[in-house]
Chain A
Amino acid sequence: MSPRDEIERLLSVPERSVDADAADAARRFAERAASQGAAEISYATVDTPVGIASVAATSRGVLSVGLPSEAVDDFLDSLAERVSPSIVEAPVTLDVARRELDEYFSGRRQTFDLPLDWSLVPGGFYRRVLNATSKLPFGITMTYGEIAAQAGNARAHRAAGTALGSNPLPIVVPCHRIIRSGGDPGNYGGGPELKKWLLRLEGSLDD
C-alpha cells in the first residue's frame, strides 16, 4: 500500500463516538430551539397502552395530538405542510403535556389543564362544535345532534360529525365523547376500536 493510500485509509476511519455524540448534541439543540422559540413547533411522543401517540405545541399551547393510528412521521409531515416545517422534537419542553396524556391513558387523570393553540381549527360552526366538545366532562357522552344544538344549529348533526372528524386535538378536545343517538359509538379518527377503548376507560361503555 502506498503512503498516499494509507493516509486516505487512516483519514477514512470513522470516529467511534460521533454518532452517539451527535445524537446527544442534536437533542440539546432541539430542546434549546424549542424553549427559546426559535422553532415554531415542538413535538414529543407518548407511549400509551394503545400505542405511540404524538403531541405538538407552539408557544401558544398544544396545537395537535396524533393518535396511535397515525405514524409519527405522517403526523409531522402534516404539520410541516399545514403550519410550518420549523419542527423539533423536545420532550423536556413538552413535559407537562406528555405527563397529562400519560396520566389520562393510564386512568389517573380526567381533565386536561393545558393551554391550547386553536389555529388548526377553522372558525365558525367547526370552532363552536369543538369548543362545546372541549367542555364535555370525563364519563359524559352526547349525541351528534346534541352537540350540534350546543353549537347553535340542532339540525346540523352531519356537519357536527365532519367538524369532529377534523379535530386536530383528539383526547384533549374529547371528540370520542360524541356518539350516535342509538348508543353506537360511531366513527373516530383513530379508528372505532380506539373510540370504544376510550369510552370504556371513562366508564361510558360496558363490555
Chain B
Amino acid sequence: MESVASRDPFQRFLDEHRAPVLAFLRAMVGPVDADDCFQETFMAALRNYESLDAANPRAWVMTIARNKAIDHHRARARRAIPKADVPEVAAPAPAERDPELWAAVGELPDKQRTAVALRFAADLRYREVAAAMDTSEEAARRNVHEGLRKLRETVLREERAA
C-alpha cells in the first residue's frame, strides 16, 4: 500500500488516496468546501506527479491538501466582510460523526487542527503526520496530544455547563 512507485498510473494513486484526502479536507474546511479543495489537491498532484515522494505518497498528497485548505481559509478571510459573519473555520461536521466534537476541532489552533485531522480523519500514523506537516514525529505527537487536551477541556466545560 505504501509503495506507490513514481511511474504508477495516476489513476491508481488517485484511487488509493481519494478517501483519506476527502476525510481530511472535510475536517479542515467543512463538507461543502472540501470538494473544491479535493479537486484542486489532485489537480496539483497530477501536475507535479513527477516530483512525487515515492517513499511516502500519502504524506506527499496530504501536504498538498493541507496547503489547499490553508489557501481556502485565506481566500475566505479576504472575502469575509464583515469578518465576524464568517467563521474562521467552516463547520466541519459530517453529520454521522460527532458534529460538536468536530466543530471543536475546527476551533483549535492551525497546527493542532491539522495534526488532529491528519491523525484521526485521514487515519495517518504519526510518522506520516510528521511528514505531511514537515515536522518531527515528536512535534506531530505533541500537536495531536495538545489538541486532544484542549478538546477534553472543551468537552468537560460543555458537560459542566449542560
Binding site for B on A (CB under 8 A): 3-4, 7-8, 10-19, 21-23, 25-26, 28-30, 32-33, 38-39, 43, 73, 76-77, 79-81, 85-89
Contact = CB atoms under 8 A, between A and B. Distances in A.
Nearest to A79: B9
Contacts of B79: none
Where chain A touches its partner, the secondary structure class is helix
B48 to A, nearest CB: 11
Contacts of A87: 9-11
A18 B92 CA distance: 13
Nearest to B22: A22
Interface in B24-54: 26, 35, 38-39, 42-43, 46-47, 49
B80 interface: no
Given A25-B38, A30-B14, A80 B19 contact: no
B21 interface: yes
Contacts of A81: 7
B9 A22 contact: no
B148 A22 contact: no
Interface residues of B, number: 40
Given A3-B155, A29-B39, A76-B9, A88 B14 contact: yes
Given A10-B98, A16-B96, A86-B49, A76 B42 contact: no
A12 B22 CA distance: 15
A79 B47 CA distance: 18
A18 B26 contact: yes
A73 B15 CA distance: 13
A3 B121 CA distance: 19
B46 A11 contact: no
Contacts of B123: 12, 14
A26 B38 CA distance: 9
B14 A26 contact: yes
A11 B101 contact: yes
B35 A85 contact: no
B12 interface: yes
B94 A18 contact: yes
Contacts of A32: 39
26 contacts: A4-B148, A4-B149, A7-B152, A7-B155, A11-B121, A12-B120, A13-B98, A14-B123, A15-B121, A18-B26, A18-B94, A22-B22, A23-B18, A23-B19, A25-B38, A29-B14, A29-B38, A29-B42, A32-B39, A38-B43, A80-B7, A85-B8, A85-B9, A86-B49, A87-B9, A88-B11
Given A7-B148, A76-B11, A22 B43 contact: no
Given A12-B120, A15-B96, A18-B23, A25 B9 contact: no
B152 A4 contact: yes
Interface string B96-120: 1110010001000000000010011
A8 B9 contact: no
A23 B22 CA distance: 10
A40 to B, nearest CB: 9
B156 interface: yes
A186 to B, nearest CB: 32
Nearest to A23: B18
